[in-house]
Structure 1
Amino acid sequence: MTPTSITSSTAPVVLDVADVRVARAGRDLLAGVSMRVRVAEHWALIGPNGAGKTTLLTLCGALGHPTSGTVDVLGRRLGRVDLSELRRRIGHVDPQHRMLRDNTVLQVVLTGLTGSSDPVARWSPTPAEEARARSLTASVGLGARSTARWSVLSQGERGRALIARALLASPALLLLDEPATGLDVAAREHLLDTLDEVRASHPDVASVTVTHHLEDLPASTSHAVLLRDGRVFAQGPADDVLTSELVSAAFDHPLVIERVAGRWSARTRWAGPAASM
């Protein structure tokens, strides 16, 4: 099947990955990958294990450099820019976020300003910064939990706290690395509803989400990239890419993809009695 590509709008470009190759130990993790994300677009990176999703997200977050090709993040080209300065304008949501101390929710959210895993010694937020942190904490449904310690939070509460943390520095680009990992169905739905609400209330923020499961995509997902073997198999508006035909081909498995009330689901295509043998 020929890979598919659909052009985007003419809104300002936030992220431009052009003909990127990433090689490690003589092996291509990505090859010939291009992707352009514009303001207010919300992209999903989908593909089998080993397809290159995490490697591509690393480039999007200015956490690595390509072997060849170019990556422009927020108008700045990797290799020609102070990465620490650039990273402050990128929000990261990683369920594997680690910290040394058992911080409160508010303390965790405030580390979005310092870019540290734990509160920085002898640093304190301004009254305006703390007020914004409290407002964001409340906006993700954790206002009453702002003094709760990390160790007593559910995985879903941690995910929502990390979203507030990522938003505190007013990023132009939000990156989410499998944000629904480890959540039960109720916590997942709460998290995805939160993401939809965040995207509606921050219309100038673009986002890229990595996930293995279509069911973990918020309804606000606008675009998608299907990766296979380190290459782009299809990309463009989500409804044009997340189809039974394309997803089945990318995963090499017969699947039926449906979208109901904005949300996707995937199941094996039934092919008669032989399918159960």
Structure 2
Amino acid sequence: MVLQLDNVSLKKDGTWILQEVNWHIEKGEHWLLFGLNGSGKTAILKMIHAEYFPTSGSVKVLDKKFGKHYLGEELRLKIGFVSSALQEKFHHNDSAFEIVLSGAYASVGLYEKPTDEIRAKAIRLLKEFGCIEYGDRMYESLSQGEKQRILIARALMANPSILIFDEPTSGLDFIAREQFLETIEKISHEQNAPTMIYVTHHVEEILPVFKKTLLLKEGQVFSSGPTLNIISSESLSQFFDLPVRVHWENERPMLYRVKSS
């Protein structure tokens, strides 16, 4: 089991952010975490990353149970993050290559001298994701799509067991978004691919590889199960409290509002 959240609740500043959340992910599964803004998605991610600890309930990540094991750099190295929010934390004068290298240490910034082996791996990843031509450029000078590719390379530097994509297509145009999603699909087919969690509130981003879905609403699990069952007209109409229609084409869904006559 890669992730176990059992009856997890979280209170911050007197407000319940999560309530009685249950979520189990087995190795090799790829999950979609779907919810509107303010649903508690970020809180769950911070809990997985050992930044938040539950007010009640049990959390176990990669066989490390919160409260019984030391949770620090060792755990965070096993969890790769691809998030636009990371971009704000990087140093302005870091090159794309340095950003990728920092992933080997799960650090924001490069504070250790990378070994030849680590440098070689960073170069291989830059080539694999089509980033090598701008590896020496300042990260802040890159386009949003180029930045996201660099973040994927960075996330894979430490051979993570879990790879989390947190609203990763924010700011991308249609072409850049589809190129980015193709990269995710490519990762899923690699041997020993990490367990992936894709977090979004955009139905059209859901790839066939994410065969299971958890719907989160107002800090509670609304439903979870096979994506084809969860991302359906009936299920999402109940979820949104609004009549909607889901149309699947080429194993990708599209969402439409059903207008009342």
Deviation, structure 1 residue 101: 3.0
Of 47, 65, 74 in structure 1, the residue corresponding to residue 35 of structure 2 is 47
How far, CA to CA, are the matches of 1:259 and 1:188 in structure 2?
A: 19
Of 5, 14, 34 in structure 2, the residue corresponding to residue 26 of structure 1 is 14
* Amino acid in the other structure paired with 1:176: F
Q: Deviations over 1:161-201 (max 9, x none)?
A: 10110111001011111001111111110110111101111
How far, CA to CA, are the matches of 1:96 and 1:134 in structure 2?
A: 24
Of 156, 160, 183 in structure 1, the residue corresponding to residue 172 of structure 2 is 183
Deviation, structure 1 residue 78: 1.5
Corresponding residue number in structure 1 for 2:140: 151
Corresponding residue number in structure 1 for 2:108: 117
| Contact 2:96 2:137 (8 Å CA) reproduced | yes
How far, CA to CA, are the matches of 1:243 and 1:62 in structure 2?
A: 33
How far, CA to CA, are the matches of 1:59 and 1:259 in structure 2?
A: 33
Corresponding residue number in structure 1 for 2:64: 76
Tell me the secondary structure at the aligned position of residue 2 of structure 2: strand
Of 226, 232, 238 in structure 1, the residue corresponding to residue 215 of structure 2 is 226
| Contact 2:30 2:212 (8 Å CA) reproduced | yes
Corresponding residue number in structure 2 for 1:161: 150
Q: Deviations over 1:125-176 (max 9, x none)?
A: 2222111111112222212221121122111111111011011100101111
Q: Does 2:98 align with 1:107? A: yes
Report the aligned-residue RMSD.
1.4
- Normalization by structure 2: what TM-score? 0.94
> For residues 29 and 220 of structure 1, do their structure 2 counterparts lie closer, same or farther at Cα, with a shift above 3 Å needed?
same
Unaligned stretches of 5+ residues in structure 1: 1-12, 273-277
How far, CA to CA, are the matches of 2:76 and 2:189 in structure 1?
A: 23
Corresponding residue number in structure 2 for 1:271: 260
Deviation, structure 1 residue 259: 2.2
Q: Percent identity of the aligned residues?
A: 34
**How many residues are aligned here?**
258
Deviation, structure 1 residue 202: 4.6
Of 174, 188, 193 in structure 1, the residue corresponding to residue 163 of structure 2 is 174
Tell me the secondary structure at the aligned position of residue 221 of structure 1: coil
Tell me the secondary structure at the aligned position of residue 50 of structure 1: coil
Tell me the secondary structure at the aligned position of residue 189 of structure 2: helix
Corresponding residue number in structure 2 for 1:65: 53
- Normalization by structure 1: what TM-score? 0.89
